[in-house]
Structure formats: structure tokens, C-alpha cells
Amino acid sequence: MSILKVARLGHPVLRRTAGILPKDRIHAAEIQKLIDDMIGTMKEYDGVGLAAVQVHESQQIAVLEVADNPRYPQKPSVPLTVLINPQITPVSDEMEEDWEGCLSIPDLRGRVPRHKDIRVQAVDRSGRDLDFAASGFHARVIQHEWDHLQGNVYLDRMKDLLTLTYTLELARYWTNK
């Protein structure tokens, strides 16, 4: 397992739409290794999610896991999940605003509105179809990673940039819910 270099904002790979991964490619050794490396890289940097474009691979793969994460304390846990070619559908009109950060945009946080409840359809790393509901922080992480696969980052989703804050100032000046 390798720790991969994370692309930072400004790298063009973050602004391209990632390619669909053909189902017959999922079992390829290099894809399985990429997924293992993405999981290792996410854990190394205390991320709750990572999209393949963030490690310079323009393919529709994302990984997520929330478990006692120091970057996101007091958040409900989310089991390790691999999403290939994910599609998301909002299942209500309800929106929720909360802080987000991104390993490709180090040290910053901002408040981002997201759909509270979504349906997620994807394929897992063994090629099995996934179809599940997610809400709250879980839904937020998935929407954040899905955005990456479309070439978007959380800054694009902010209503304005007035809450954009360095993490040190966040702790000092903002009430962190």
C-alpha cells in the first residue's frame, strides 16, 4: 500500500469530470491497488473521504470512512465505503448547512449547503450494485466526493465566501457546532 500525493486546488485534474470506470475493469489489479492506496491516503491525512481525481486519477471512484476522526470530532461514524460510478438523487427538498474542509484545499473550512437526504446508487469494489439512503453528515461527505468526480470543489457550493476560514481562526472565532 502506498500513500499517494494529493492534488491541490489549481491542479487541472480537480476540474475535469472523471471518466466512468467500466464494470469489467473493477477487478483489474491496478484498480484494486488504486482503491487500497486511496483508502491508505485518506487515513494518513485524516480525511473522511477521498476522490480518485484528488490522487491524479480521473476515474469515478471515491472512498469514505468516518471513525473517531480528529479533523471531524463529534461526527457520527460512517463505515468504510468504496463508491464506483456513484449517482446521487436528493429525496427531499431539505437543505442543511455545515462546515466542510478538503484535503485538496488545506487548512481552510467553509459553510456549505447540502441536501440533507439522498439516495446513492453505485458499484462497490467487488462489482456489486449498491443502493442506499444517506442523510446528514454521511450524505454531506458523499455529496462532497461526488462533486469532486464532476470537477467541482466545496467552494463552488458555498452561498458566498464570508465563512471561509482557516482552521485556527475557526477554533478561535467561530462556534463550531
Instruction: Supply the residues annotated as catalytic.
Output: 145
Q: Which is nearer to Ni ion, 7 or 102 (CB)?
A: 102
Site string for Ni ion, 31-50 (x = CB under 5 A): --------------------
Q: Which is nearer to Ni ion, 35 or 146 (CB)?
A: 146
N residues, the chain: 177
With b for 16 or more beta-carbon neighbours within 10 A and e for fewer, the 102-121 pattern comes to bbbbeebbbbbebbbbbebe
149 binds Ni ion (CB under 5 A): no
Q: Which of 34, 63, 83, 102 binds Ni ion (CB under 5 A)?
A: 102
Write down the least CB distance from residue 129 to Ni ion, Å.
Answer: 25
Asked if 5 contacts 55 with a C-beta cutoff of 8 angstroms, the reply is: yes
Residue indicated by cell numbers 491542479: 11
Write down the least CB distance from residue 104 to Ni ion, Å.
Answer: 5
How many whole angstroms separate alpha carbon 115 and alpha carbon 98?
A: 11
**Residues binding Ni ion (CB under 5 A):** 102
